[in-house]
């Protein structure tokens, strides 16, 4: 693909990356202190991408923004993943649901594990809010983005969501 554009930009939580094509947003990467800011807004970037970046900055500053209208380039996905990510985009800010509930919403009842795999492979963290998916019985589940579960909990707190149970850390293990 030759029409790919990449933008690394700073947010209140650190550097964020988004990559898009002519079809829409191709992937994102949540703030990561290890990500070096090496790119600036390309001079030929479309107005829509500039708006996406501003909304992402606003999110990490605490503003209640929506990403529902950002087009996604899902050309590399199969129909199951499209169904899962589409159902997840409908989960509003401040809400969580279980892997099993998301599977049912996506028309895949009983396929919580498939949802877990899709969450781990989510090409659009934040825009497709995988941080809102939790395990059964109020457990946090996993989170493969930079910062792991602490990032998931921080995002849920920012949105005012009911928090899943946080596993206690061993004293002295993490500072």
pLDDT of 172 strictly over 70: no
Tell me the pLDDT tens digit for each residue of 151-167: 999 999 999 987 766 54
pTM score, two decimals?
0.86
Nearest to 96 by CA among 36, 165, 168: 165
Give the Cα separation of 34 and 76 in Å (integer). Answer: 27
Give the Cα separation of 166 and 153 in Å (integer). Answer: 8
* Rg value, the chain, Cα: 16
- Beta-bridged to residue 16, according to DSSP, are 9
Could you give the percent of the chain with pLDDT greater than 70? 85
Q: CATH class for domain 79-159?
A: mainly alpha
Could you give the percent of the chain with pLDDT greater than 90? 66
pLDDT of 170 strictly over 50: no
Query: Over the chain, what is the mean pLDDT?
Result: 86
The pLDDT assigned to 171 comes to 47
> Which distant-in-sequence residues (6+ apart) come within 8 Å of 90 by Cβ?
105
* 35 confidence band (pLDDT: 50, 70, 90): low
- The catalytically annotated residue of 130, 140, 156, 158 is 130
Tell me the pLDDT tens digit for each residue of 114-149: 999 999 999 999 999 999 999 988 788 888 888 889
pLDDT of 5 strictly over 80: yes
Residue 130: active-site member:
yes
The pLDDT assigned to 50 comes to 87
pLDDT of 55 strictly over 80: yes
Say how many residues make up the chain: 175
- Domain boundaries in the chain? 5-60, 79-159
**CA distance from start to end of the chain:** 44
Average pLDDT over residues 72-91: 96
């Amino acid at each position: 693909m030759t029409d790919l554009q990449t933008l690394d930009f700073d947010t209140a939580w650190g550097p964020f990356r988004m990559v898009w094509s002519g079809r829409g947003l191709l992937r994102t990467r949540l703030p990561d202190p290890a990500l070096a800011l090496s790119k600036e807004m390309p001079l030929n970037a479309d107005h829509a991408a500039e708006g996406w970046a501003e909304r992402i900055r606003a999110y990490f500053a605490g503003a209640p923004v929506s990403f529902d209208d950002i087009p996604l380039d899902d050309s590399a996905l199969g129909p199951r993943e499209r169904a899962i990510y589409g159902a997840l985009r409908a989960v509003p800010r401040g809400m969580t649901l279980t892997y099993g509930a998301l599977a049912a919403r996506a028309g895949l009842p009983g396929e919580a594990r498939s949802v877990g795999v899709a969450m781990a492979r989510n090409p659009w963290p934040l825009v497709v809010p995988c941080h809102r998916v939790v395990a059964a019985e109020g457990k946090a589940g996993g989170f493969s983005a930079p910062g792991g579960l602490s990032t998931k909990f921080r995002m849920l707190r920012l949105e005012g969501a009911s928090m899943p149970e946080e596993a206690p850390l061993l004293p002295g293990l993490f500072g």
